[in-house]
Structure 1
């Protein structure tokens, strides 16, 4: 959702020293709101099952629209029409890509064939197979890891220098060419150079934003899945480069631009997925919830920049296994049951712009 790419590991020091920290760890050991936690479980049991009739058409339709629009961006001569197609392709492929988030949480038996189809249609063509998130994102939800140095998806952005935010966002545009080099060059070379293979796996095989994160070697069935996904990505990447040498670079260049904008969208979404105020302490579940963000209605644009349920990111941290199509109803029920002046309501914000302003203001105070 990226939230979260290989290039982000070039972001400078994610952990400010004591002199740079803002007084923002007030919530790290906040007592859990047991009423909220209990209500979240009890009021939503009946809508906790993933519905194939929603997942499949949504994913397939988003991918089909994205690739059709991408073809238009490549083939159309009219620059305005081509640009419009490119923008539509970015938004549609963004939605299709973010189903990788669902794959990490949904039960393996809930959607037979969905993981394979998603990788075949989305993950491998865009060089972001599901193994880059599976086994990584669950660590972000671990009770004792969230917000700590062991969390692959956390950086205390609110406590860092102001210039860190634009650097963090803009480096995402380098993700597509970096992935192309990874799959077409580094992975094949790693077959004959074991140290390179280890380095690529540890440092360039996870959708993480913590530069200090090192991925452990895959094992068992997961290792076999990684092998086939890596093979598919390498074949696809090499074929893309070969076709570009033979027929010209314009199609690949346009595709890279489209996916770069998709990566940038996800990076901006990542900036406002949390408040990023924790300096490394383990946090209670309620503290993790309050460090996360919901952008519910009436915010009308949030489904575009935070699709597939990610507009309810704080709620997702309360109910990680809840399917994306049920989060809106979960929010409605919990809001009605708990009321406005409660812990639950404190994680809701009006939109993208106010959240970006809040984050930028935090970095100014952290100087």
Structure 2
């Protein structure tokens, strides 16, 4: 069934006719859906180590292998194709950072350390940049408000904000290199700079108002070692580039820039971005989020590691990514085509981007 047809006209009309500042807060929770989401998925709620380890390690090996090929091969066309493959594989590897924020710390022994060693530190995006940040996005009273680090009312902003939002991601890799190679070491000597870098440049956040609080306890110790690893790696890469040439670093930055761009485009369609700052019910948060389930053909490529079920993830934040497809199947079958649950399903990337673009053109 076409997911667009699953939207209830009465609900849609009520939402569209209500003032944009009120429809979210006025929407009551669908208790049947919330109860079913918990009760029907208890038996698939445990992370399966074999899937996590195999997927992460294979994606990482393909990503770095293709990157090495892109750097070493002489044929420009083959180099470009290998670069594209590397970007897609590393994109998948990087998105395991999302899983790290939700799985229990004892669920996958050694996974966080290995991911940081192989992916987070070499890509200069260690897990601390998301841990302790992303959970605020899921907080019941923070989602969609100015205190949400991962929310902007993009649908209510000007049309030019969308391409700017997407294209600025290309600058992320050189910015991360500057952060780890220059700003963090200098911050160790200059406390005000350290405070600034931590508060403004140490979180994967899109809300410019967000300021990160100083880390404490065990988390602060983890941050120290991850920062040390990133700075050591960044300075080593720069030293090697000075000694042996800048071509490998340039190609690597291009590949990671493409990865960052892909993630930013995915972010554009992770939500409808229609909330203007008010607190929302769980159901309203769900309907402001997006599922792109089958029969969408390539959503697993541009929204990997379970992120094509982003709305479902907001119902069940701790559900492991490999169980989301089965959870979606069960809930769809149990609740039916006319249910609230089906209203968060969309047919693909292009329709969602078009919807968001139209929203910006009519925003006041």
8 A Cα contact 1:124 1:232, kept in partner: yes
8 A Cα contact 2:20 2:275, kept in partner: no
Q: How does 1:39-58 map to 2 (within 5 A)?
A: 39-58=36-55
**1:276 alignment partner in structure 2:** 273
Q: 2:287 aligns with which of 283, 287, 290?
A: 290
User: Structure 2 length as normaliser, TM-score?
Assistant: 0.94
Q: Does 1:157 align with 2:154?
A: yes
Q: 1:134 aligns with which of 131, 135, 157?
A: 131
Q: Distance in 1 between matches of 2:132 and 2:159?
A: 32
8 A Cα contact 1:28 1:278, kept in partner: no
Q: How does 1:14-53 map to 2 (within 5 A)?
A: 23=20, 25-53=22-50
**2:340 alignment partner in structure 1:** 343
Name the SS for the 1:270 alignment partner.
Answer: helix
User: Structure 1 length as normaliser, TM-score?
Assistant: 0.94
Aligned residues: 347
Deviations 1:89-109 (A, max 9, x none): 000000000000000000001
Q: Distance in 2 between matches of 1:83 and 1:24?
A: 46
Q: 1:221 aligns with which of 195, 218, 221?
A: 218
Deviations 1:225-278 (A, max 9, x none): 000000000000000000000000000000000000000000000000000000
Structure 1 residue runs of 4 or more that deviate by more than 6 Å after TM superposition = none
Q: Does 1:244 align with 2:241?
A: yes
Deviation at 1:26, TM superposition (A): 1.3
Q: How does 1:77-116 map to 2 (within 5 A)?
A: 77-116=74-113
Q: Distance in 2 between matches of 1:198 and 1:226?
A: 14
Q: Does 1:322 align with 2:287?
A: no
Q: How does 1:59-208 map to 2 (within 5 A)?
A: 59-208=56-205
Q: Distance in 2 between matches of 1:165 and 1:22?
A: 23
Q: Distance in 2 between matches of 1:102 and 1:29?
A: 32
**1:356 alignment partner in structure 2:** 353
Gaps in structure 1 of 5+ consecutive residues = 1-20
8 A Cα contact 1:22 1:159, kept in partner: no
Q: Does 1:234 align with 2:245?
A: no
Deviation at 1:24, TM superposition (A): 6.1
Gaps in structure 2 of 5+ consecutive residues = 1-17
**1:17 alignment partner in structure 2:** none
Name the SS for the 1:68 alignment partner.
Answer: helix
Q: Does 1:300 align with 2:293?
A: no
Deviations 1:147-183 (A, max 9, x none): 0000000000000000000000000000000000000
Deviation at 1:29, TM superposition (A): 3.0
Name the SS for the 1:329 alignment partner.
Answer: helix
Deviation at 1:22, TM superposition (A): 7.2
Q: Distance in 1 between matches of 2:290 and 2:344?
A: 5
Deviations 1:98-146 (A, max 9, x none): 0000000000010000000000000000000000000000000000000
Q: Distance in 1 between matches of 2:235 and 2:244?
A: 14
Structure 1 residues 76 and 24 mapped into 2: Cα distance closer, same or farther (>3 Å)? farther
CA RMSD of the aligned region, Å?
Answer: 1.0
Q: Distance in 2 between matches of 1:175 and 1:327?
A: 30
